[in-house]
Chain A
Amino acid sequence: MATEKTPPPLPGGGLAPRGSLAGHLVKAVLLALSAGVAAWAAWPLYETRNWAGLGLVAAVTGVVWWVYLSKRRVPAKYLLPGVLLLIAFQVVPVVYTVAASATNHGDGHRGTKEEAIARIEASSVTRTADGREFTLTIAAEGGSPSGELVFLLTDEDGAVYAGDAEGLTPLPGARTGPTGRVLGADGYTPLTAAQANGRGAEVAELAVPAGDGAGIRAQGLSAAYEGRAARAYDAGCDCITDSATGAVYTADDEHGVFATEDGERLSQGWRVGVGADNYARLAADPGIASAFFSILGWNTVFAAGTTLGVFVLGLAVALALHTPDRLRGGTLYRLLLVLPYAMPAFAMMLLWRDMFNADFGLVNRLLGTDVDWLGGAGTARAVALTVNIWLGFPYMFLICTGALQAIPRELVQAARLDGAGAWQAFRQVTLPLLMVAVAPVLIATFAFNFNNFNAIWLTTKGGPFPSDSPTAGYTDLLITYTYRLAFGGQGAEYGYAAAVSVLIFLIVTLISFTGLRKSASLEEVNR
């Protein structure tokens, strides 16, 4: 045992430097590509001075080069792409969702406090009562378009002024066009539309003082008006004062809003951390407490029923086509069976929904019945299950066909020779061997259907709804119920929705974990 052995060559050694020329080339191209992607990602990050992001890009690219340029670290070469993708598309979204669930992010609370203040002030500029209007030419002082910004203004009487941050000065010698708009004046350079637009921030900033707190502001390129900003932010009291009504809105950094003492809020808020508030709200909602368990029950039935349904149907069809003798037209059958799987699922769901329409649907016409399929709790649930099983069984048929072909026929033949009936041979030999391959797929099917938003939203929309509860329908899954909860109210509430997602994530994790442990024990038995 003590003899030094060189480790057996690992697969993939061909990509190591001693490999073929083609291998070298592929590797060089891929590494160059990773450097290119890094440079591509780095530039905008540098422009916005996002050093943390830049560091991350550098670190990831560094690790990639370090791993692939070495002759060693062969296992890492295999693991790295998967790990990077896993982090990018599984770990980051989960972490992000958890982080978002601790904020009030959503409509009305999307940006920063500074942005909210800027918008509140900008939206409060109103025309003064007897406000003057001007025809505007945006110009620069002096002979160059980069000079100090000036508004050349013509009022309703045709008088011309130059306006800057200091105020208005009459400008009698200006050349004006037919509309009275200034075309040129000595000492000023009119800006082209593109030039004025390029200095848009300055144009928006400039309010030529017109006395009494009012200012003359540009509206586009060719008009100006006299207006006044009613609301102004004061950093001293961290509040916004409305000079028109006298109301004082104080910043509430816990909720991300400006509010008066008697609770009147300004509509523009900002994003703040709210800790566990979203979870507390979830727990305290009386609607959720009463609806949660009934929805969870149906949700489990739906996922389990779909899984069982597609498995039984898929397996039955697979067995029927898995005969030792060649079936005439077998390929055609297979093709037809895969059709539901090959068609766009969302279109099929809408089609099924229309077929179950009580008055105009195909189903009632064919059967000659008058059943309100989507209007009754039981029938709507049956419809949801039927449609979902119809859409899902071809996939299970494909899986089962593959798994059946991997089971040697000799095993079943041996069992039959030993006196087992067809059912017994299937039950004792084929099924256990099949389960080893199929069990993980069944768990995945269950977990997927537990959250199958489309299957419900596109067929029943969670309905029908009991007349005393418009929020929890008879066919609602947790995901459709909470979607309505988070997005049905006053616009989107991402923070709350994230909290709900975390809850569903935990439930599905728990179910999948238990299921996978079960399937692992299944494999032990067969070893």
Chain B
Amino acid sequence: MKMDDPHGKRMPGGVVTLAHGGGGSAMRKLIENVLLPAFNNPLLAALEDQATVPLAELLVHGDRLAFTTDSYVVTPMSFPGGDIGKLAVCGTVNDLAVSGARPLYLSCGLVIEEGLEMAHLAMIVESIAHAARLAGVSVVTGDTKVVERGAADKLFINTAGIGVIPAGIQISASRAQPGDAVIVSGSLGDHGIAILLARNELALDAAVMSDCQPLHGLVAVMLGACQDIHCLRDATRGGVATVLNEFATSSRVGIRLREAALPVNETVRGACEILGLDPLYLANEGKLVAVVPATHADAVLAAMRAHPAGLEAAIVGEITAESAGNVILSTAFGGYRVVDMLVGEQLPRIC
């Protein structure tokens, strides 16, 4: 079977078999026909056991390496606004970006369940390559394993990433100070609700796109407005609430949030109402939380709003000396409550 990928290329047919992970000719063919043309760069094309990166090229960008890894498992593999491939690139790029680093190189490990259609694999690989091109990073090394049917859920991806942090940037979860402003880059929970809807379990008819996107460009303009950003983290699993609890604990400060200021897309809000979920805890894949000195908050916010990834950015609260270690939400209704770390995953309520 052949199918077209969204970027207009003809896809190969057949399914992935154990032979494609066996190290022999089938695997060589998979690498040469699917992976190399998609990732298309000289470091990978050398087909050595490692990518060899000249240090001089790194030193141009700064004085410290940022190095991170993450694994991606998601059902379904494609969803409105993205797929597992785009997710694997954006997630790792964002983990680098929130240190202030310029993301440069990625590795890509594929764990494929036997029987996955070759065309589907090629489509995901093309999506990885496309997302990497947009983020300005190269996939320079990788690994492919094929496991027996039932041993994995179609495809798992691991990406590791290397970036370089410019001299003078010191971003850390432990640097929040009383008086600092808390900024989020856009609407909360779009990815979490998009995935729930894409699973078709909710019988809800609503259009929500995942916010899956790289954030290094946004971080660059934020640093342009204020080099002294104190804390920065992308709000993935566990959502904004989890990130803020991590800041409060690491910096030993309190955080006061204003519910009325939190940007939440109307459809996401509606779905949360029906399901008894809290958007503060829903996953995002293209949103960040920043803590910046109050004196620079307006400049950072203006810079963010001028960038496509930060159009809906908002100041949502401030760091306080009181209630150290706690995140307190002033509700839009006039009361307040503690926004705690989530225990396990959010489960819909019975009624």
The answer to whether A and B interact is: no
